[in-house]
Amino acid sequence: MAMYARNPHGGPPLVEDVITQADVSKATFYKYFSSVEQVIAELGAVLTAEMVQSLVNIYRGSERPYFRMAVATQLFLLRSVTDRVWAAFVSHTDILASNNVVFQGMRGHVLASRDEEIMDFKNLDAALTLAAGALLEAMRKIVRGGKTPEQSYVEEVMTMILRGLGVEHGLAGQTVRESANFIRETAPALLPWWRDPWA
């Protein structure tokens, strides 16, 4: 994770870089892993499970799908602001690949929101590309930025994702405000990694 944070524009680090950072021998590395890609996949699975558990913990069960999507997306962005090492790594993994549980959750929320006529789009793949792509690029921008982004940046990205998925302007803004308040009220007691970046 540290190697990704050092080079947020690059690809996976070399084994030599990882063993130097971890202060272990090449033999020790290869005792546990066959490649850097295997390490990335395993750590990505752990971080995915952690974020899924965070989402399970924070939801009360009565939220509508578009609200859950807003909460999930904002949590990814807020964690990126407070933990750039995490964000640098996660934004380069397959956490939003189509076969991943996080992506499948997003897919379910988007489809249910369209069924409720909250979202309006014709092509599901295009809608998911927009949502996942905007989220990942925003995470990468946060990592590359030298200073803490303004709260308005995170909220505007979320508003634009909702608007791009066909959510009415007023409802998109209201959903972003309400989901931000929901996170700040519930996250401190439920998410061990939570820290309000603008408190």
> Can you read off the two tokens belonging to residue 134?
């905007």
Judge whether residue 8 has pLDDT over 70. Answer: no
Query: Measured between alpha carbons, how far is 39 from 187 in angstroms, rounded to an integer?
Result: 29
Closest Cα partner for 80 from 16, 118, 33, 135?
135
Q: Which CATH class is domain 2-190?
A: mainly alpha
Q: How far is CA 199 from CA 62, 143, 169, 190, in A?
A: 28, 20, 27, 17
Domain boundaries of the chain, sorted by first residue: 2-190
- Is the pTM value of this prediction over 0.85? yes
Tell me the chain's radius of gyration from C-alpha atoms: 18
Average pLDDT on 134-141 reads: 93
Model confidence pLDDT, tens digit, residues 9-62: 667 788 888 888 889 999 999 999 998 888 888 887 888 888 888 988 999 888
